[in-house]
């Protein structure tokens, strides 16, 4: 076997713009989202034509969830689903949009946070489950009336539950013990039940976790759903729970942990569980920025936590077999003296146990210009290290800007820069990329990320999304 990652089979450019790209790949169709936008595609990457007079995608997330903003129904009656009947704020914007696909039920789910435009407070969230595997057939839509003030919502589906978590740290303090996870009964959502069974985990339910990170599950899970609890210490905490035995009663979780050499990185939209192993990938700083000279340099850190026991009463990590690996310079074209930043990864694992990592890459100190590009790396099952990376889309120019000084609350403040330096994916504040497995074969990889697209010089926002289908056949 060679050391090259497999070639991409198809590359396309979804007609939505923004940050935080996600894609969900079904058996026949795809959905791509950005923070504020949604588009329905076929599996060649072409926008789906209208089917029965429904609105044509792409469209804004606010338009998709418009029914929760309208004060009146089409017949002129009062709309009791209008969120502003319950909110003290004028909610008028949906954003931070996510998408997932349930390969078992063949349904898409879309999630968006809601707020008053021009503010940073996340007030509520809405979610929707497709009526069929074709997103053009419409969605059953739901919205919370509980003000949660939670940033960066997350969404996944596993077993009988649609799970929603968030990024904002929760503390059991003066503001009380708040939910870190909400679960909604998928069969009921799929049927459009008005009040679906649901339950929540609070911090106190999951060992004081300030937040939990969701896991995408494929294959047999032993009837469990997994969550991860990442804090600033080296202990990696894992929780698992079985399906609720009563509709509105949260199941009691079971716990495991593993001590790492340093705190685990925050993952992209999902961790991944299959074949009794929990996979995670994030980026870590390997070189601090030099103000007015060069940006920080990041590398990809990937971890694998195999389990010796997975049951409804116990989970236990095989500590001796845990993998903790960092890579950040594995392109065939890298020169010996190059310093390259690997930023904002997404990952997925197919039925063969092959893992793919998609990430942004930017030259910090390189012999040849290396503007922000998109690459991916495959770590084949049974192999001791990741393969050499493959290029999905080169960057077209190097955006330059002033780095923001760090938040003083996180440490000593750094004076603002006076000289523009290179913008990387991490400094652009793209929160994540996404990789998924094709639902039709549980083998083919799909990835999506952003690259610097030719635009106005020094424009830090002129980026474009690229998506790709990657062959599962290893060279």
Burial classification of residue 128, based on how many CB atoms lie within 10 Å of its CB (0-12 exposed, 13-18 middle, 19 or more buried): buried
Instruction: Give the pLDDT confidence score for residue 176 in this predicted structure.
Output: 63
Rounded CA-CA distance 435/33 in Å is 13
Instruction: Give the pLDDT confidence score for residue 1 in this predicted structure.
Output: 44
Please give the structure tokens belonging to residue 6: 């497999």
- Contact (Cβ atoms closer than 8 angstroms) between residue 448 and residue 469: no
> Any idea how long the chain is?
475
H or E stretch at 61: helix 61-64
- Contact (Cβ atoms closer than 8 angstroms) between residue 98 and residue 154: yes
Instruction: Give the pLDDT confidence score for residue 70 in this predicted structure.
Output: 97
Classify domain 8-470 by CATH number: 2.120.10
Instruction: Give the pLDDT confidence score for residue 88 in this predicted structure.
Output: 85
- Contact (Cβ atoms closer than 8 angstroms) between residue 120 and residue 44: no
Q: How far is CA 212 from the centre of its chain?
A: 13
Instruction: Give the pLDDT confidence score for residue 427 in this predicted structure.
Output: 83
Those residues whose C-beta lies under 8 Å from the C-beta of residue 333, and which sit 6 or more positions away, are none
- Contact (Cβ atoms closer than 8 angstroms) between residue 211 and residue 202: no
Query: The pTM is what?
Result: 0.94
> Measuring CA to CA, how many Å separate 458 from each of 296, 299, 398?
19, 25, 8
Instruction: Give the pLDDT confidence score for residue 148 in this predicted structure.
Output: 64
Please give the structure tokens belonging to residue 185: 């009964």
What phi and psi values does residue 389 have, to the nearest 5 degrees? -75, 160
Low-confidence ranges of the chain (pLDDT < 70): 1-2, 122, 148-150, 168-176, 404-414, 455-461
User: What share of residues in the chain are helix, strand, coil (percent, to 5)?
Assistant: 5, 45, 50
What phi and psi values does residue 109 have, to the nearest 5 degrees? -130, 140
Domain ranges, ordered by start, for the chain: 8-470
């Amino acid at each position: 076997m060679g050391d090259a990652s497999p070639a991409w089979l198809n590359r396309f450019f979804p007609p939505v713009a923004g940050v935080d790209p996600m894609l969900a790949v079904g058996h026949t169709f795809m959905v791509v989202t950005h923070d504020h936008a949604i588009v329905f595609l076929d599996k060649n990457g072409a926008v789906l034509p209208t089917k029965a007079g429904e609105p044509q995608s792409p469209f804004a997330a606010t338009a998709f969830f418009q029914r929760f903003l309208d004060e009146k129904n089409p017949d002129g009656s009062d709309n009791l689903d209008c969120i502003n009947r319950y909110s003290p704020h004028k909610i008028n914007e949906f954003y931070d949009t996510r998408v997932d696909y349930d390969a078992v039920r063949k349904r898409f789910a879309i999630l968006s946070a809601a707020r008053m435009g021009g503010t940073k407070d996340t007030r509520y969230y809405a979610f929707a489950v497709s009526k069929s595997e074709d997103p053009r057939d419409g969605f059953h839509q739901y919205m919370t009336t509980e003000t949660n003030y939670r940033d960066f919502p997350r969404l996944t589906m596993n077993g009988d539950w649609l799970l929603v978590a968030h990024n904002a740290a929760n503390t059991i303090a003066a503001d009380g013990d708040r939910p870190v996870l909400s679960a909604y009964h998928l069969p009921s959502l799929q049927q459009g039940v008005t009040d679906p069974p649901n339950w929540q985990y609070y911090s106190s339910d999951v060992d004081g976790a300030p937040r939990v990170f969701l896991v995408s599950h494929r294959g047999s899970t032993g009837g469990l759903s997994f969550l991860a609890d990442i804090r600033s210490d080296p202990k990696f905490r894992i929780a698992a729970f079985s399906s609720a035995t009563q509709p509105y009663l949260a199941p009691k979780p079971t716990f495991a942990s593993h001590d790492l050499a340093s705190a685990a990185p925050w993952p992209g939209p999902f961790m991944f569980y299959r074949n009794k192993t929990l996979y995670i990938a994030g980026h870590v700083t390997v070189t601090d920025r030099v103000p007015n000279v060069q940006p920080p340099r990041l590398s990809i850190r990937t971890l694998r936590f195999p389990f010796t026991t997975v049951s409804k009463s116990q989970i236990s990590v095989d500590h001796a077999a845990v993998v903790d690996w960092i890579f950040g310079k594995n392109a065939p074209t890298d020169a010996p003296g190059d310093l390259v930043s690997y930023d904002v990864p997404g990952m997925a694992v197919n039925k063969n146990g092959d893992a793919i990592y998609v990430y942004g890459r930017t030259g910090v100190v390189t012999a040849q210009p290396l503007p922000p590009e998109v690459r991916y790396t495959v770590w084949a099952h049974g192999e001791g290290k990741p393969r050499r990376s493959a290029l999905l889309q080169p960057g077209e120019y190097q955006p330059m800007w002033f780095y923001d000084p760090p938040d003083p609350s996180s440490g000593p403040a750094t004076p603002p820069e006076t000289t523009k330096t290179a913008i990387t994916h991490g400094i652009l504040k793209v929160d994540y990329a996404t990789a998924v497995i094709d639902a039709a074969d549980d083998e083919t990889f799909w990835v999506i990320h952003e690259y610097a697209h030719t635009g106005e010089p020094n424009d830090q926002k002129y980026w474009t999304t690229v998506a790709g289908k990657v062959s599962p056949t290893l060279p």
